[in-house]
Structure 1
């Protein structure tokens, strides 16, 4: 799949969005199957004329004979998801940074109460706007998508949660973080789940996993940099738990130079 991951052109949007990509329908392309691995982003995907089947951790996608638009959001997954495209169909996927989607929705309870929402109403006019964008050339698609998202942006103060988030991404003990902000660990975890959609420990585990990919990309051997884990055996155990594959085999088969870290099957 020839796919380009775009970073936001807008300096404002890049605070909340990691990036996005487009897929165009092409029935001449052979089936595509890959595994995507846990991350701490909130992923919003819109497809045109889609027929989708979800079974366990496998999603099968193909075009529908009936015209439709479907928007789904994935806020949490702790094991690989296998994606199977019978052939590419029109798609726009947006990766919101942790806390990012909170700046676009009045209430994120529905998003974070469900790991995956298959038919999500992001905004009343969202699917209509995405349908319009599908018909444009790539440069215009980027302009229209970013302009639309900027029009929906809500200024909110999450400064405390942002500080906590930064602390969670270090090796500081959770008890010490709670003490630092003079709150209980239970309250800290409750607020974190409310705004991030994950527990503190789960977020940190995924962050360490993703950080190990960055370290490997920078040509540092994972045995030399344990990325916050206590020892090599602890690192390998947690890596295999999230990736369901040994680190050596993972790094051998995944292209870390791509923004989308996928294992093609």
Structure 2
């Protein structure tokens, strides 16, 4: 299976779109892996592929009767086992926590929907053309031009500030302190995160710390630093706090997790089990 990750090229899109994966699977041998919680909102499109979610399992399989499939994933708090069956042609967009709001007037209607993600009248046709394009360079131009054509004037200063505060790695401000600082309520902060981010602020923060640990682990692989140092640098209160968070989000202890995961720079890290 061939997977390529590209960072967003156009400066106008970079505040909203982290990047995108191009995935091609030509072999008939099944591929299985675990994917772990993150704070991106992911949109995946497929050609002649069906997607079936059940509990924490996703089967993505070749289906010549389906010309186009598109799904949105905004929130999950435990690992998802993904199984690719047959030939697969996929593009996945990784939007920043608030990014997709700048393209859709009412993103929240898609968060709890089990229906196919079809946000625009020309979406199916354009994405099908992108999937069928053989050149990565041309694909990138096509997809970035498309998302640029959908940019809107979404602006929410309070929410921008709240998300920025939650992403700081050198502070541990509480939700109550955030509410006081920005003259709002805890309830309103929860409401805003649910509507525009797709998850509550506590989960957002826990996942951010976990992802910070992954990012730092990539950097520390060349250094002689242990998991305790990693925990402090990723803003876990102590070693037991880090172990508890890792087991909650991955099903593994930090030691087990880092012994098995294939760490990669990019928008996500995958744990291949086959």
TM-score, normalization by structure 1:
0.94
The equivalent residue for 1:130 is 127
Deviation at 1:29, TM superposition (A): 4.7
> SS of the residue aligned with 1:24?
strand
The equivalent residue for 2:228 is 223
The equivalent residue for 1:182 is 183
- Distance in 2, Cα, partners of 1:164 & 1:231: 25
The equivalent residue for 1:5 is 5
The equivalent residue for 1:24 is 24
Deviation at 1:229, TM superposition (A): 1.9
The equivalent residue for 2:160 is 162
> SS of the residue aligned with 1:255?
coil
Deviation at 1:222, TM superposition (A): 2.7
The equivalent residue for 2:270 is 262
- Distance in 2, Cα, partners of 1:202 & 1:99: 15
Report the number of matched residues.
262
Conserved in 1, the CA contact under 8 Å of 2:217 and 2:230? no
> SS of the residue aligned with 1:256?
coil
Conserved in 2, the CA contact under 8 Å of 1:215 and 1:221? no
Conserved in 2, the CA contact under 8 Å of 1:25 and 1:88? yes
Question: Any gaps of 5 or more consecutive residues in structure 1?
Answer: none
Conserved in 1, the CA contact under 8 Å of 2:50 and 2:69? no
Question: Any gaps of 5 or more consecutive residues in structure 2?
Answer: none
- Distance in 1, Cα, partners of 2:66 & 2:107: 29
- Answer yes or no: is 1:251 the counterpart of 2:248: no
Conserved in 1, the CA contact under 8 Å of 2:7 and 2:20? yes
1:144-193 deviation digits (Å, cap 9, x = unpaired): 00001100111221222111111123411111110001111111221222
TM-score, normalization by structure 2:
0.91
Deviation at 1:51, TM superposition (A): 2.6
- Answer yes or no: is 1:106 the counterpart of 2:114: no
Conserved in 2, the CA contact under 8 Å of 1:70 and 1:118? no
- Answer yes or no: is 1:64 the counterpart of 2:63: yes
Task: Give RMSD over aligned pairs.
Answer: 1.5
- Distance in 1, Cα, partners of 2:261 & 2:129: 34
1:34-53 deviation digits (Å, cap 9, x = unpaired): 00000011110111111333
